[in-house]
Structure 1
Amino acid sequence: MAKVIMVQGTMSNSGKSFLVAGLCRMFKRMGFKVAPFKSQNMALNSFITEDGLEMGRAQVMQAEAAKIAPDACMNPILLKPTSNTGSQVILNGKVYANMSASDYYTNKKSFIPYVLDAYKKLDSKYDIIVIEGAGSPAEINLNENDIVNMGLAKLVDAPVLLVADIDRGGVFASVFGTVALLDSESQKRIKGIVINKFRGDKTLLTPGFDMLKEHFAKIGVKIPVVGVIPMTKIDIDDEDSLSSRLDTASTEFSNDKINIAVIRLPHISNFTDFNPLERRSEIVLKYITSPNEMADADLVILPGSKNTLYDLRWLKDKGFNRNNLINKNIIGICGGFQMLGNNLIDEAGVEEGGSETGLKLLNFSTVFAKKKTTRQTKTKIINLPDFIDNLSDTAITGYEIHMGSTIDADEKYFTISDISENGGFVNKNILGTYIHGIFENDKFVDCLISGLIKKTGKKISLNDNITDFESYKDSQYELLANLVEESLDIERIMNILNIEK
């Protein structure tokens, strides 16, 4: 049986995902076989495993930190919001149903056997399992049916670290309030408090820790602070749309850079596709919501969407249309690719239902179907738009996640492979593709940048010393593990796990 420790938070975006990743890499460096686990994840950023199963990107990131292959067992339930009140439920990597929030909540406990089965598969293979909670365990209106925070901790008998974000203020109130709202059994499970995103002199926190200890004593609780993690820039995939990556309103395009505008759709999915572009010194990447913001963009990207018809209508309402896009260099990915076509038809009611006229920038249409395409893919590029240089190595890898199929197509294919001839279409300055992860192919990004340099005539030198993306990611996990080791009381953490350091 594996040793287990769980990371819960006082709120969403407190740093649970990063702390789990840091612990995974730290334990891996100690010589342990370690795996992440999150029973229920609500996210629009997802990934396809080698066996064609879908899981949340946060657990993929954590698996990478642990230097193991992502496995859908690490995230047995993935909720992909389709509206403000409903989600597509992915169970064990496959589409289960579209459910309203109330229906899912009512039936949540019926998923416990699936959660425990997935956990047991990891339990049999690894030395340590690091579990991530969701939101806050003090959401007392939801605790009765909880299967992701204290409910799960009780099921697998996990000790808990509670992480709190000090950068947003009120950290002592959020820590004490969270603990005070829990039942006594849950309070006893919390073995340590972690303060995250601190700026300044840590000694200034000491009086607060002493007073927190006094307040805990009043409710019969004794929980130590086991670490303070400083605010540090580490470039690792973010979990979802709370990400600060999307807040680029103050970012300004530059005449000395390649300017890339990503349209921030209401249901944007897999914005992690663009993280590799952000690290390139030749690029300024900005998320936009109006046509005026793309005036100086050298490339416009339409990203994936979990509700393509809704987001297409939003796009039109905002003023994006064929006339102001047709002369732009454009890449559409997945849902964004489908928007580039003539018509989107949803007679099966997979999304909004009905149909919608596309942007008519590529000559094809999309019919939505209830069967979801989920697969990793390795393809050969056979045609490129005029803003991408020819590739000496034309093989690219990625993955597909979509519920639409192409009809009435009359365009040049972008790629071809053994499993799919429709990796997308190309027409002059327009590229549409179903392939997520395309920018993780370093040679492709090099040719994109050099092609845009030539087409725009900008005087920019291509950076020849860029570290390959896989090595770059690994270096970030090492920095994260260093940060965790330096910031936490590791001896106490190992004691919580009942492991001799």
Structure 2
Amino acid sequence: MANCIMMQGTSSHVGKSILVTALCRILYQDGVHVVPFKAQNMALNSYVTRDGKEMGRAQVAQAEAAGLEPMVEMNPVLLKPTGNASSQIVVMGQPVGNMSAKDYHKGYSVKLFGHVKEALAKLQDEYDTIVIEGAGSPAEVNLHDNDIVNMRVAKYLNAPVFLIADIDRGGALASLVGTLELLEDDERDLVKGLIINKFRGDVTLLKPAVDFLEKKTGKPVLGIIPHLDNLGIDDEDSVSLEDKPEKEKAQADLHVAVMRTPKISNFTDFDAIASEKDVSLHYVTDVENFGHPDLIMLPGSKNTTEDMLWLRSSGLEEKIREAVEAGTPLIGICGGYQMLGKEIRDPHHTESEHDGTTGLGFLDMATTFIESKLTSQVTADCHDWNFMGTKISAKDLHGYEIHMGETEFFGDKDEHPITITERRGEKCAVEEGTSRADGMVFGTYIHGIFDHDEFRRAMLNVLRVKKGLEPLENTRSLFAEKQRAYDRLAETVRANLDMDKVREILAAQ
């Protein structure tokens, strides 16, 4: 039977996900068979497992840090916001329908705790240690009775809890003291230590605050974790886009503009591009910061119709048209791909209250939303993609599909340069992706396609040559960079967290 430890926070975005990732990596380095877990995740940044199940992206990063293949038991309940205070409910990797926040939190959530317990039972049987992540704050008294992700999990497992506060946003001391005060007595007893996260400056100056906290709460401060910039680890949701630094435009040869639509999903599709040394990537929210990009990208969306209507009402649709007509290429992924067509139809109101809308009309295709969702990991080959007049080919592109629309094509003017060669482990030969004949517009349903090092560099080199710049040799391994990022994170947290005390708490179970 596995022992457990749980990270809870005084609020959202205090660093729970990253600290769970760090602890998974530290224990993995120490030879422990460790697994991450989060009972319920709310995120648009999701992932598809090898067996076609959908889960939160944060647990994928944590699994990678632990040396594991992601599996849905790590995140049995996923909420994907659709708008109007409602979410799509995904249980054990499968969507079960949409529900308002009120209906979900007024009893339905507790009904899902059986799935949480089943997932935990499997992990307890197969692993030595489970590192558990909470959500938001356990002191949200309005949600307490129907909580399935914070103290209900801790009490079910009798798991020791570390309470985390983000000192960078201010009010850390008050939030720690206040959170503990609002907990029930038995919940407060489970809190075995406090962690102050994202600290900047001289840690010795914080000693009076630490002394105060320990005296006031009776809980030890087990770590003061420094603020870490440019971690190189996938973020959980679009709230983290606010924290993404942009490179100085003058220092980059290429400028990429990603339309930051209100329902943006899977923005990690662009992280590999953003991290290239010759690229400045920025997220566009209005016509004023559209700029003069070398490449425009449309992201995935949890509500394609509403995001298309937003592009239209914001004036960005017109800016995109002007840029493409002037010679700037446009790429869409998943929902962004659907927007490139002539029509988006939603007869069953699968994603929104609208029956549909016209798309950008760059590609001769239309998409109709259906009530079932395609989720699969894929391997694909790209054969002679005409990108701005240059042919690009690459083999073994790995990624995943996650969409609810069926796309039909009109005529034979557009090309389909990608072939899916394997889906969910089964060999196949399926045409995928669409490119306009002139090479200026391209779309694909495959998330993660630009994580392929040679494919990404080949695309960027076409842009470089267009600007009169020399192409660059690919010298990167995104996989190796991620592993180094996990190691760097583990090294920093190991040096600033009382790991002896952590091991003592784990051994006491």
Report the TM-score range of the alignment, normalised by the length of the smaller protein: over 0.9
CA distance in 2, matches of 1:471, 1:431: 29
> Is 1:477 matched up with 2:486?
yes
Where 1:32 maps in the other structure, the secondary structure is coil
The offset of 1:200, in angstroms, is 0.8
The residue type equivalent to 2:307 in the other structure is D
The residue type equivalent to 1:488 in the other structure is L
Query: What is the CA deviation profile of residues 129-148 of structure 1, one whole-angstrom value per residue up to 9, with x for unaligned ones?
Result: 00000001110111011110
Matches for 1:184-199 after TM superposition, within 5 Å: 184-199=185-200
Which residue of 321, 324, 340 corresponds with 2:322? 324
Q: Which residue of 2 aligns with 1:312?
A: 308
Where 2:136 maps in the other structure, the secondary structure is coil
Q: Measured at CA, do residues 264 and 494 of structure 1 come closer, stay the same or move farther in structure 2, by a change above 3 Å?
A: same
Q: Which residue of 2 aligns with 1:456?
A: 467
The offset of 1:77, in angstroms, is 0.3
The residue type equivalent to 2:126 in the other structure is K
Query: What is the CA deviation profile of residues 175-194 of structure 1, one whole-angstrom value per residue up to 9, with x for unaligned ones?
Result: 10010110110111000101
Runs of 4+ in 1 over 6 A off after TM superposition: none
Matches for 1:349-360 after TM superposition, within 5 Å: 349-352=349-352, 353-360=354-361
Matches for 1:223-262 after TM superposition, within 5 Å: 223-233=219-229, 234-244=231-241, 252-254=248-250, 256-262=252-258
Where 2:249 maps in the other structure, the secondary structure is coil
> Is 1:29 matched up with 2:29?
yes
Q: With structure 2 as the length reference, what TM-score do the two structures score?
A: 0.93
> Is 1:445 matched up with 2:445?
no
Q: How many residue pairs align between the two structures? A: 492
Query: Contact (CA 8 Å) 1:388, 1:449: kept in 2 or not?
Result: no
CA distance in 2, matches of 1:343, 1:25: 46
The offset of 1:421, in angstroms, is 2.7
Q: Which residue of 1 aligns with 2:374?
A: 373
> Is 1:174 matched up with 2:175?
yes
CA distance in 1, matches of 2:313, 2:189: 52
Q: Which residue of 2 aligns with 1:219?
A: none
Matches for 1:270-281 after TM superposition, within 5 Å: 270-281=266-277
Query: Which sits farther off after the overlay, 346-355 or 5-14?
Result: 346-355
Query: Contact (CA 8 Å) 1:247, 1:287: kept in 2 or not?
Result: no
Query: Contact (CA 8 Å) 1:246, 1:287: kept in 2 or not?
Result: no
CA distance in 1, matches of 2:71, 2:29: 21
Query: Contact (CA 8 Å) 1:388, 1:452: kept in 2 or not?
Result: no
The offset of 1:294, in angstroms, is 3.2
Where 1:477 maps in the other structure, the secondary structure is helix
Q: Which residue of 1 aligns with 2:424?
A: none
CA distance in 2, matches of 1:133, 1:403: 29
Q: Which residue of 2 aligns with 1:417?
A: 420
Q: With structure 1 as the length reference, what TM-score do the two structures score?
A: 0.95
CA distance in 2, matches of 1:292, 1:255: 21
The residue type equivalent to 1:357 in the other structure is T
Query: What is the CA deviation profile of residues 392-421 of structure 1, one whole-angstrom value per residue up to 9, with x for unaligned ones?
Result: 533311100000011233321131224463
Q: Measured at CA, do residues 61 and 359 of structure 1 come closer, stay the same or move farther in structure 2, by a change above 3 Å?
A: same
Q: Which residue of 2 aligns with 1:396?
A: 397
CA distance in 1, matches of 2:97, 2:393: 43
CA distance in 2, matches of 1:239, 1:417: 27
Where 1:406 maps in the other structure, the secondary structure is strand
CA distance in 1, matches of 2:181, 2:145: 17
Q: Measured at CA, do residues 408 and 152 of structure 1 come closer, stay the same or move farther in structure 2, by a change above 3 Å?
A: same
> Is 1:163 matched up with 2:161?
no
Where 1:326 maps in the other structure, the secondary structure is helix
Query: Contact (CA 8 Å) 1:388, 1:450: kept in 2 or not?
Result: no
The offset of 1:255, in angstroms, is 7.7
The offset of 1:314, in angstroms, is 0.4
Where 2:17 maps in the other structure, the secondary structure is helix
> Is 1:153 matched up with 2:154?
yes
Query: Which sits farther off after the overlay, 272-281 or 474-483?
Result: 272-281
> Is 1:63 matched up with 2:43?
no
Where 1:497 maps in the other structure, the secondary structure is helix
Equivalent pairs: percent with the same residue? 44
Query: Contact (CA 8 Å) 1:391, 1:443: kept in 2 or not?
Result: no
Query: Which sits farther off after the overlay, 406-415 or 152-161?
Result: 406-415
CA distance in 2, matches of 1:172, 1:163: 11
Q: Which residue of 2 aligns with 1:20?
A: 20
CA distance in 2, matches of 1:256, 1:481: 31
CA distance in 1, matches of 2:163, 2:349: 41
Query: Contact (CA 8 Å) 2:254, 2:294: kept in 1 or not?
Result: yes
CA distance in 2, matches of 1:193, 1:23: 15
Q: Which residue of 2 aligns with 1:302?
A: 298
Query: Which sits farther off after the overlay, 309-318 or 229-238?
Result: 229-238
CA distance in 2, matches of 1:33, 1:238: 24
Q: CA RMSD in A?
A: 1.7
Q: Measured at CA, do residues 423 and 478 of structure 1 come closer, stay the same or move farther in structure 2, by a change above 3 Å?
A: same
Query: Contact (CA 8 Å) 1:388, 1:447: kept in 2 or not?
Result: no
Query: Which sits farther off after the overlay, 420-429 or 95-104?
Result: 420-429
The offset of 1:235, in angstroms, is 1.5
Where 1:243 maps in the other structure, the secondary structure is helix
Where 2:507 maps in the other structure, the secondary structure is coil
Q: Measured at CA, do residues 388 and 264 of structure 1 come closer, stay the same or move farther in structure 2, by a change above 3 Å?
A: farther
Specify every segment of 5 or more residues in structure 1 that has no aligned partner in the other structure, as ranges.
217-221
CA distance in 1, matches of 2:323, 2:386: 15
